[in-house]
Amino acid sequence: MSEQLAKLLARRLGERFKRNELLSDYTTFGVGGPAWGLVEPDDEDELAFVLRAAAEAGMELQVLGACSNVLVADSGLPALAVLIRERMGAIELESQSDRGVLLRVDAGCSVRRLTELCLEHGWTGFEFAAGIPGNLGGALRMNAGTRDGEIYDLVRELRLMNAEGSAQWLAREEVDFSYRAVELPAGAVILSCRMELQKGERQDVARKVEAMLAWRAEHHPQYLPCAGSVFRNPPGEHAARLIETAGCKGLRVGGAQVSEHHANFIVNDKNGSANDIYELIGLVRQRVRQSFGLTLECEVKLLGDFA
């Protein structure tokens, strides 16, 4: 069945279907073995075709975006990786009033591009996301945010596609979201959202964006392969403080190191492997548990076999 699926996908998607594609070429950690196959759909119709074909063949799916919040095992994924990126990244102004705008933003749109559009038009409310890596789909999937806000503060509706290729809109009230987590139906793929922003002054938006980018430059490691914050903050605590107090700042396994700049970041500074990063995650969790009796929960999604 897998070879039949490969022929079907190649016929429909051409060069946008790749066999045994190394995911290290896509992840911001710069690690990860090959996927069984990789596709990048053009639109919803093509995505629906891919989902149905994979379901009929019994092939496991892994939906990815900018791959900025994942750790893929060195052995890769025995799955079809589906990339939702700029081909499915449109932004549409659906309505506006004297006070605000309603945007439809597709999952493949980068957070950076949406931030730049808000800055260009003086739309306010999204400044907290300035500098967050990745695409909107990933931000929606994990309810990305900062100390100043989170994505579901702005979302009014969410559009999903199921494994049969059918799409529907869900009102915000129908979506079960919490801190860095969103519960969705099994197999659901995020397509887009409707987002409400306020009209403001461009210079005020620019000032907030610049302040957020400056804060990130000061507090987060720059120019080294990483995947953002590795652990969620426990209730009433900061993971970075716990990690640093437990003596983990600068801790290294192979080519992976707990950042000297921010203890809740792991950087791949010496061509480390996925297994180096995984072992370092485990070592940090162990030391924090021994020091504080708390088990840190991973914010980075682990994909593949790390056994």
Report the catalytic residues.
Answer: 180, 229, 299
CA distances from 291 to 31, 134, 285 (A): 30, 33, 10
Which candidate, 100, 67, 94, 99, places its Cα nearest to that of 83?
67
Collapsing DSSP to helix, strand or coil, 76 comes out as coil
Cα distance between residue 190 and residue 241, in whole Å: 33
* Of 285, 281, 236, 293, the residue nearest 257 (C-alpha): 281
Which strands make up the sheet holding 252-253, listed edge to edge? 252-253, 256-258, 266-268
Q: Are strands 34-39 and 77-83 parallel, antiparallel or unpaired?
A: parallel
Q: Cα 160–81–36 angle (5° rounding)?
A: 150
Q: Which amino acid would we find at residue 89?
A: G
Contacts of 249 (CB under 8 A, 6+ apart): 243, 258, 259, 260, 263
Count how many residues are written for the chain: 307
Range list of H helices, 58-165: 111-121, 136-142
Half-sphere exposure of 82 (CA within 13 A, CB side): 31
Dihedrals phi, psi of 4, to nearest 5 degrees: -65, -40
Which residue in 32, 47, 39, 251 sits closest to 165, CA to CA?
Answer: 47
Please state, in angstroms and rounded to a whole number, the distance separating the CA atoms of residues 8 and 2. 10
